[in-house]
Amino acid sequence: MSGFLYALLPVIAIVTLGHVLSVRKWIPTESWRAIERLSYVVLFPALIVRTLANAPFETAPWRLAGALILAQFALAGIGWLGRFLPGMPRPAVGSVIQSNVRWNTMIGLSIGSLLFGQDGLALVTIAAAAMIPTANVLSVYALIAHADRPHGPAPKPILALVRNPIVIACAAGLALAAANIELPELLDDSLGILGDAALALGLLSAGAGVDLSALRRAGPRTFSWSLVRLVGLPVFAVGFGLLLGLSGVPLTIAVICAATPTATSSYILARELGGDAPLAANLIAVETVLAMITMPLLYLAVMQLAAA
């Protein structure tokens, strides 16, 4: 437990620093958008390509990917059931489903690497290669299907997926690993430098994107669905993982990935595809705060389960 807290505290500190820099306007708002874009298009893909290309896939726990994908579909189904709740608008259902299946990859990568080094980083990247495409497909379909009227042009889900730089990076890294192609030293070192920058800037951007004022606007709907997401996804991940025979570090990584709050990009996609954008913003803020409590508790529960 102390090791997890030791890994979590630097993440909290960097996210907090990003929030302070944003609130104090020491870094202008438009600069944060540029930083987010740089991380999304260049830095994070570089980290994924290098980690996947160097990952030992001959011993890769594919059960990890399977457990997390099944957990995402299970939480998507629970979000879909929200349409039968009284007073639940259709756009809100789309935003809830998106919140249920997305995760904050930067937090997962940071904690995984701090706890388990390169092995943890490789496992989280394998999880990302499975969860990111799944989250994008489920989110786009859910938002479009439940939108009263999209605020912008609704992209074709497959086309949006193919153009996603994260998905492209996952495909490139997996292709290099499958072909057993070793990265040239110069390219490997260059991607390593970009990857290191991705973790720091990603966490700072996550902090800058947190709207604490949304906590004051959050009502019972936001808090209840936030708890469903923060508890439900890791519980399903553990359940499916145990059914598939997952154990040890891979099972712990599954919990870490599933227990992170939803991605901060959820608000942008909800706004563009006709979801409930204010609800998406509230879910991001509430889950980011609550996750600092639920993540250590879930980690402790898994450690006790493993010791039993």
What length does the chain have? 308
> In terms of Cα–Cα distance, which of 197, 275, 258, 207 is closest to 41?
197
3-state helix, strand, coil in the chain (%, to 5): 80, 0, 20
| H helices, E strands: number in the chain | 14, 0
Tracing tokens 């997926």 back to the chain, one arrives at 161
Residue 9 has pLDDT above 80, yes or no: no
Task: Please tell me the distance from the alpha carbon of residue 51 to that of residue 49, in angstroms, as a whole number.
Answer: 6
Task: Please tell me the distance from the alpha carbon of residue 274 to that of residue 288, in angstroms, as a whole number.
Answer: 23
Provide, rounded to the nearest whole percent, the portion of the chain with pLDDT above 90: 28
Q: What's the pLDDT score for residue 170?
A: 79
Residue 188 has pLDDT above 70, yes or no: yes
Copy the structure tokens of residue 302: 């898994």
The total of other beta-carbon atoms located within 10 Å of residue 200's CB is: 16
Residue 277 has pLDDT above 60, yes or no: yes
Measure CA 239 to chain center: 19
Copy the structure tokens of residue 147: 């939108």
**pLDDT tens by residue, 136-167:** 788 878 888 888 765 455 555 566 667 778 77
**pLDDT tens by residue, 39-58:** 878 887 888 888 778 776 66
Residue 276 has pLDDT above 80, yes or no: yes
Task: Please tell me the distance from the alpha carbon of residue 210 to that of residue 220, in angstroms, as a whole number.
Answer: 19
Q: What is the pLDDT averaged over residues 186-214?
A: 82
**pLDDT tens by residue, 109-135:** 888 888 888 888 889 988 888 888 888
Task: Please tell me the distance from the alpha carbon of residue 224 to that of residue 283, in angstroms, as a whole number.
Answer: 10
Highest mean pLDDT among 14-18, 58-62, 247-251, 256-260: 256-260
**pLDDT tens by residue, 19-40:** 899 889 999 888 988 887 888 7
Q: What is the pLDDT averaged over residues 13-22?
A: 87
Q: What's the pLDDT score for residue 54?
A: 79
**What's the pTM?**
0.78
